[in-house]
Amino acid sequence: MSHDTLSDVLRSVRLQSALFFYVSCHGKWVAEAPPSREIAAAVMPNAEHVIAYHVVTEGQCWAAIVGESPQKLHRGDIILLPQGDPHVVSYAPGLRADPRTSTYYEMQHQQRPFRVSYDSDGQPQVAPCASDSANSQEGASTTLVCGFIGCDMRPFNPLIATLPRLLHLCGNGGSAWSEQFVRLAATESSRRRPGSEALLERLSEMMFVDAVRRHTDAMPADSTGWLAGLRDRFVSRALALMHERPAEPWTIGQLGRQVGLSRSALHERFIDLIRQPPMQYLTHWRMQLASGLLRDTGSSVAAIALEVGYDSEAAFARAFKRIVGTPPATWRRMHRETTGPSGVVVPTRTISHLGGE
């Protein structure tokens, strides 16, 4: 089976990245970030969910979710906060700081990438990156590249919940791709060059995909969750079939025959790994596909219903409202893109925030 289920989901949930900054740390420094939901409007106003990441490009430091045990980071290490938890990065373990959100709104108006400097007084200084990377890290004990990755969570994102709260990728012995990302991220973030922002966006998205793959490869054999399902011989094939042909009138019996399991065995395997029955998963995936078609195309609701496997518009509308919470037409009005005040295309759901600034 050649169908790439992980890529399917990543495309569907609109993985994106933005707001990069180069951090130089001096002396006894500490930085604390609030929950991502509190700063999402500042750092990525078009994203439903925001994931922070930090890359250690020089030196070492400690990182921890607030209230959890800290982990030591070395040069080349990458950490991600998939669930959006508040966290601390510092020169020593067990420290706390003031997680002010106003700094993130200040960062929003800087030309990207930009530099943030932390020192012993605890007050971050935000400034444009120097044209010479050596100037921006002079005297720094630790330097990092930090940024944010965004994605949709609704109607259906099976990936995020299956990731750990803090994902630590070691630079020593890690993938060759991650090592290249650390080097390129350091170079592009530490100086102002044309195209750096766009390049960092693509690099960050690829880093996230590589992080998911590395995490999946390292999971224990008895792991559960959607990623564990991708590793299972039978469940992964069933998932691939549903993703490849979502409009097919699948039954659990047909899926079982395709993957070589009985109906009951496939159902049990899905419950054990994915935590939901196959047909329920298929319905949720169809609603995710339908939401993208409603948002991004001019197709009628009836045509979208057929495309995702429903013979009637009424049956599709009932299923969509049951899972998403609103009828398809209402969801489309809420999420269709429109032209913003500067000719920029923005989703209608963000206009109230922009207008309130």
For residue range 179-199, what is the model confidence (pLDDT) as tens digits?
Answer: 777 777 777 766 667 777 788
The number of C-alpha atoms within 13 Å of 232 and in the hemisphere containing its C-beta is 24
Q: Based on the domain organization, do 282 and 164 belong to the same domain?
A: no
With respect to residue 273, please indicate whether it lies within any of the assigned structural domains.
yes
Q: What is the mean pLDDT of residues 34-42?
A: 90
Q: Based on the domain organization, do 136 and 52 belong to the same domain?
A: yes
Q: Which amino acid is at 155?
A: P
Q: Of the segments 20-29, 41-50, 65-74, which one has the largest average pLDDT value?
A: 65-74
With respect to residue 2, please indicate whether it lies within any of the assigned structural domains.
no
With respect to residue 106, please indicate whether it lies within any of the assigned structural domains.
yes
With respect to residue 287, please indicate whether it lies within any of the assigned structural domains.
yes
With respect to residue 354, please indicate whether it lies within any of the assigned structural domains.
no
Q: How far apart are the first and last CA of the chain?
A: 50
With respect to residue 33, please indicate whether it lies within any of the assigned structural domains.
yes
Q: Based on the domain organization, do 14 and 111 belong to the same domain?
A: yes
Residue 355 has pLDDT above 80, yes or no: no
Q: Based on the domain organization, do 274 and 191 belong to the same domain?
A: no
Residue 354 has pLDDT above 50, yes or no: no
For residue 171, what pLDDT is reported?
83
Q: Based on the domain organization, do 285 and 244 belong to the same domain?
A: yes
Q: Based on the domain organization, do 277 and 211 belong to the same domain?
A: no
Q: Based on the domain organization, do 295 and 192 belong to the same domain?
A: no
Q: Based on the domain organization, do 206 and 238 belong to the same domain?
A: no
With respect to residue 128, please indicate whether it lies within any of the assigned structural domains.
yes
Domain residue limits at 303: 226-335
Mean residue pLDDT of the chain comes to 84
Buried b (16+ CB within 10 A) or exposed e, 275-305: beebeebbbbbbbbbbbbbbbeeeeebeebb
Q: Based on the domain organization, do 188 and 243 belong to the same domain?
A: no
For residue 357, what pLDDT is reported?
27
With respect to residue 259, please indicate whether it lies within any of the assigned structural domains.
yes
pLDDT band at residue 348 under the 50/70/90 scheme = very low
Query: What CATH number corresponds to the domain at position 274?
Result: 1.10.10.60
Q: Based on the domain organization, do 49 and 142 belong to the same domain?
A: yes
